[in-house]
Amino acid sequence: MDNVAIIGVAQTKYEKGKTKNYAELVYEVSRMALDDAGLELADIDNVVTTTNDFYDGRTIACMAIAEAAGSYGRDATNVEGDGTLSAFYGLMRTLSDVYGTTLVTTHCKVSEGAPRKIFNQMFDPIYDRRLGMDAISSSALQARAYMDRYGITQEQCARVSVKNHGNARNNPYAHVPLDITVEDVMKSPVLADPIKRLDVAPVSDGACAIILAKEDRVKNGRRKPVWVKGVAHCTDAYRLGERDLSRAGALEEAARKAYAMAGVKDPSKEIDVAEVYDAFSYMELLWYEGLGFCGAGESGRLIDSGVTGMAGALPVNPSGGVLSAHAVQVAGLARIAECVLQLRGEAGRRQVPGAKLALAHGITGICAQTHCVWVLSDTPAKEV
Amino acid sequence: MAKRTAIVGVGQTNHTSKRRDVNGQELINEAVKRALADAGLTLRDIDAFVIGNMDHFEGINCVDGWSIDGSGAYMKPIMKVTTGGSTGGTLGSSAYYHVASGLFDVVMAIGWEKNSESDTQAAISTCADPILERDFFGGAIGPNAAEYAMYMKQYGASQEDAAMVAVRDHNNALNNPYAHLRKFITVEEVMNSPMLCYPIKLLDSCPRSDGACAVIYASEDRAPKIAPRPAWIHATAVSHDYVYFGDYDWEAMPTLEATASRVYKRAGITNPLKDIDVMELYLPFSTCGVVWMEHMWVCERGESPKLIRKGVFNMEGELPVNPSGGVLSTNPIGATALIRIGEAALQVMGKADDRQVPNVRTAMATAFGSCYWFEATILRSTMS
Amino acid sequence: MDNETILEVREKDGLLVHQGVIRVPYTWAAGEAASQFYAGLARKVIYGIRCTHCDMVFVPPKKTCHQCFAELGEWVKVSSRGVLETFTVVHYSEPELHPVQAPFAYGIIKLDGASTGMAHIIQGVDLDRLQAGMSLEAVFKEQPEGNYLDITCFRPAGEAKGHG
């Protein structure tokens, strides 16, 4: 892969019930990403937006945000899914001979729709949609399958929630920074056991944008470019009953490919910081294993040991993660944006000192049917 | 390393008004299997997939994950792209950039729609801004009717000129076993068909179809080994108009002009009438087949009716348009524009059977949808 | 048009917020495999479909094997009893989604003779006593409608109705 850098990032603050409409949110992050990169719109060769007609409450929702993303008068396209996938498509377009720079945007106002009903529309209309499952209840099936198989405890999941909400106190964009204890999580109301209120990501509105550039379009600006070393995505079987819910097979495959591209041999040693899509606390543990941060079933011990805490050897979700801000379709791109800040050394109070290699991760679908893994570095693959 | 990219296989369903015998996944599967057979490949050869449709036409959220049993993307990368009526063009471009990036060798694009399964008009009306325009938006026909009424007045064109386009496309469909409407019609029958929105009549209009299309793209390393005569992608381009329909300039068609100019420039085309051997155009109404030829720089303003009367765009003419029968005979929306690309590729590959135009070296396919979102692809029989 | 639009206008922070509904009617062709499955349920028989290549029996059935991509056509009767693989007890209420009132349980049940699990509702049991590995059986609807709830729910195998 040729060298491509992320040269600009922007996020809104994540909140519930933002009064700006989603086109205004997209404009806000597009403008800020350009400023961050020190570019003007004229420097952008093409645009990749991200929409979902159900969440956006509009057919062909890409129309509604096209102008706001600055795509009028230039090539544009639109992905439906997590922002890590939009960014991946943006990377492909940047790697082709056609475009040198790509602006990628994603937005969601989860609070404006009926997220449980919208999630239910992912289930098969001729089979199990009638059961009425949503993100919480279906994920609870995955949580138990995983926890039962490996003896992961609810307290260990709670520790993820405590860590991430605590980290969120250092992130000005986070929606739900909290100073809580394992006991608080354990005592929070059970929604669908083993998932409790404080194991669940909030309903958030927000937007995120990044700008990708080919090596010859990376200017010596005020921001340090962050280089893409490896990316891959993978999708598991559709029906829950056809999947081994206790393992993240699609994540293992995506990680294997992304690591191979990036030349990462031992992720637990080489990666300095990771931002993963923890829509539920158990997910972060299951993703540790899929990402090879530890062996199968060892995540409980990993979180107990503090390795993934801010002071540990491999901090995960210094931003507070998705548990602290969950604008659907935005959350994966926000993971990338956070890794960029880490590798620039601009992550403020949530900075992992000296971070040189970072991992960002996104999911989409029922029980994370699709995973996308990004490996980012502060240095290009080949010397410039 | 960026790669040259070619189409090496095309598959489509036998399009029809209602496919009650299969569900969506099974419909997709038919096209996928036909594309694999056409290319002489198996599923194992496909490195990645892109899929698209319109959310509110089937009511299935995240069709990328839902499609697995039909698409075959199990434990492989799949992502969804969507831009309304132009989705098929967006899909083709996406598969192209997957390969052109150098990251994937063989990629399948899948477009599909079961229009019979929802209230298309109820769904499409929700594409208008909910606060300002939704209450009075009546779908695509009004603006196109107004466009042609103005055109007739300005250039002395007639309803019969449009009817000749309808006759051409409908009768071409007689040579296409996959077309939905295959009935010989005359100008008189078009003129006598019920008026829908002056001056557009029933036989000037596209139908709604159930169908799917799959197109396989391969890199320069693989394409020549898969297909004896691959259809090389030389350029794609896209433009879209503003968010609010009220802002459009219905007479100038700036986005079609921008798309055509850009794609010609990228492919080195200076005189489309001479340089292009066949076009598969997304013409939702016959009237567009008159007016849009000029915005695509095929002829001067006001000249199109003369060329149509001379038969320039007929099968035996200088620049045959829509040998497949076009959108007027077949319109499974999410697949429609991908069918244009697939049909253009078949022409270049010399595999279009009874609808083959002799000696095609250069072909053009277009897509149209949403906010006058035009996408175009130029294909050639030679790599460079 | 019945899918429309603005029902209510509210004010927040000096700005207006419009509220509406998108209502689009859908029909979904079930296809051959699902139609056969539901025809079986009407006779209180659960059918799976076998992939001979992968040696898998899919319940509910489908036309294509996602692993080897073969078209499937070998029908297999499977037991209406099976093993609970994973479950959750739902404590929140979502009346427009949930077919039964909370608290209730969802589970994935692998029927005897099937290779894949079936997501469903579990009733007729003390929810505190649910555990993975327990044996459950399908409860068939007396007046089947040709949909997924023609199996009303699963309950502990061999136990009496109306318990819990």
User: What is chain B's mean pLDDT, rounded?
Assistant: 94
* Angle, CA of A229, A235 and A237, to the nearest 5°: 160
Q: Would you say residue A33 lies in a domain? A: yes
Q: Do residues A90 and A148 both lie within one domain?
A: no
Q: What is the pLDDT of residue B51?
A: 98
Closest-CA residue in chain A for B373? A63
Predicted pLDDT at C163: 40
User: From residue B350, how far is each of A311, B98, B342, B356, B357 by CA, in Å?
Assistant: 64, 25, 12, 7, 8
Are B355 and B363 in contact, with CB atoms under 8 Å apart?
no
DSSP structural state of residue C160: P
In angstroms, the CA A358 to CA A379 distance is: 11
Question: Residues A269, A372: one domain?
Answer: yes
Domains annotated on chain B, with CATH: 5-122+209-232 (3.40.47.10), 134-206+238-328+337-378 (3.40.47.10)
| Nearest residue on chain C to B68, alpha-carbon basis | C66
- 3-state SS class at C131: coil
Q: CB-based burial of residue B72 (10 Å sphere; 0-12 exposed, 13-18 middle, 19+ buried)?
A: buried
Q: What is the pLDDT of residue B137?
A: 63
SS3 category, A167: helix
- Which tens digits make up the pLDDT trace of B369-380? 877 899 999 999
- Domain boundary (A172, A188, A217) is at A217
* Same-domain check for residues A25 and A75: yes
Strand partners, A362: A372
C81 or B129, which is more confident: C81
Interchain contact C44–A (C-beta under 8 A): no
Radius of gyration of chain C (CA): 20
Residues of B in contact with A135 (CB under 8 A): none
Contact B134 C4 (CB under 8 A): yes
Q: Which residue, B224, B215, B160, B169, is CA-closest to B190?
A: B160
The answer to whether C24 contacts B20, with C-beta atoms less than 8 Å apart, is no
Q: What is the pLDDT of residue C161?
A: 47
Write out pLDDT tens, residues B342-384. 999 999 999 999 999 999 999 999 999 877 899 999 999 999 8
Greatest pairwise CA separation for chain B in angstroms: 58
What CATH number corresponds to the domain at position A25? Answer: 3.40.47.10
Q: How many angstroms separate the CA atoms of B383 and A364, rounded? A: 37
Among A136, A143, A241, beta carbon nearest to C108: A241
Residue from the list A63, A75, A235 with its beta carbon closest to the beta carbon of B127 = A63
At A234, which amino acid appears? Answer: C
Asked if A262 and A351 sit in the same domain, the reply is yes
A77:B126 CB<8 A: no
Q: Is B272 left (phi over 0), alpha (psi -120 to 50) or beta?
A: alpha
Q: Is residue A138 located within the same domain as residue A64?
A: no
Contacts of B77 in chain A (CB under 8 A): 232-235, 254
Q: How far is A341 from chain C (nearest CA, A)?
A: 32
* Beta carbons of B125 and C23 less than 8 Å apart: no
B67 vs B56, higher pLDDT: B67
Q: What is the pLDDT of residue B140?
A: 74
Which of B29, B74, B126 shows the shortest C-beta gap to C22? Answer: B126
Q: Is C5 on the interface with A (CB under 8 A)?
A: no
User: For residue range B262-279, what is the model confidence (pLDDT) as tens digits?
Assistant: 999 999 999 999 999 999
pLDDT digits (tens, 9 = 90+) for C154-164: 999 985 444 43
Give the pLDDT confidence of B73-95 residue by residue, as tens digits.
999 999 999 999 999 999 999 99
A382 located within any domain: no
The three-state secondary structure class of A38 is coil
Asked which of A188, A217, A246 is the last residue of a domain, the reply is A217
The pLDDT value given to residue B135: 67
ipTM, two decimals: 0.97
Band of residue B136 on the pLDDT scale cut at 50, 70, 90: low
Residue B82 is predicted with a pLDDT of 96
End-to-end CA distance of chain A: 14
Spell out the residues 6+ positions from residue B181 whose beta carbon is closer than 8 angstroms to its own.
B170, B173, B207, B325, B328, B329, B330
Report the DSSP pairing between strands A370-377 and A357-364. Answer: antiparallel
Is A58 part of any domain? yes
Tokens 């009717």 correspond to what residue? B145
**Looking at the 3D structure of chain A, how many domains does it have?**
2
Among A187, A217, A247, the domain boundary falls at: A217
Q: Residue window 21-40, chain B: list those with CB within 8 Å of chain A.
A: 23
Indicate which of A137, A195, A244 best probes the interface with C, i.e. most C CBs within 10 Å of its own CB. Answer: A137
Same domain, A307 and A356: yes
In a domain, A195, yes or no: yes
Task: Say yes or no for a CB contact (<8 Å) between A121 and B60.
Answer: yes
Q: Is the separation of the CB atoms in B166 and B203 below 8 Å?
A: yes
Same domain for A240 and A137?
yes
C-beta of residue C49 within 8 angstroms of C-beta of residue C73: yes
Counting as low any pLDDT under 70, the low residues of chain A are: 382-384
3-state secondary structure string, chain B? CCCCEEEEEEEECCCECCCCCCCHHHHHHHHHHHHHHHHCCCHHHCCEEEEECCHHHHCCCCHHHHCHHHHCCCCECEEEECCHHHHHHHHHHHHHHHHHCCCCCEEEEEEEEEHHHECHHHHHHCCCCCCCCHHHCCCCHHHHHHHHHHHHHHHCCCHHHHHHHHHHHHHHHHHCCCCCCCCCCCHHHHHHCCEEECCEEHHHECCCCEEEEEEEEEECCCHHHHCCCCEEEEEEEEECCCCCHHHCCCCCCHHHHHHHHHHHHHHCCCCHHHHCCEEECCCCEHHHHHHHHHHCCCCCCCCHHHHHHHCCCCCCCCCCECCCCHHHHCCCHHHHHHHHHHHHHHHHHCCCHHHCCCCCCEEEEEEEECCCEEEEEEEECCCC
Q: Which of B309, B318, B304 is nearest to B357 (CA)?
A: B318
pLDDT band at C5 (very low <50, low <70, confident <90, very high): low
* A-to-B residue pairs, Cβ atoms closer than 8 angstroms: 179
Residue at A66 is within a domain: yes
Domain that holds residue A306: 115-202+228-377
**A299 and A160, same structural domain?**
yes
Residues A208 and A250 both lie in one domain:
no
**Residue in B closest to C62 by C-alpha:** B69
- Shared domain check, A295 and A362: yes
In a domain, A383, yes or no: no
B61 touches chain C (CB under 8 A): no
The reply to whether A47 and A153 lie within a common domain is no
Does one domain contain both A184 and A86?
no
Residues C84-142 have pLDDT tens digits of 999 999 999 999 999 999 999 999 999 999 999 999 999 999 999 999 999 999 999 99
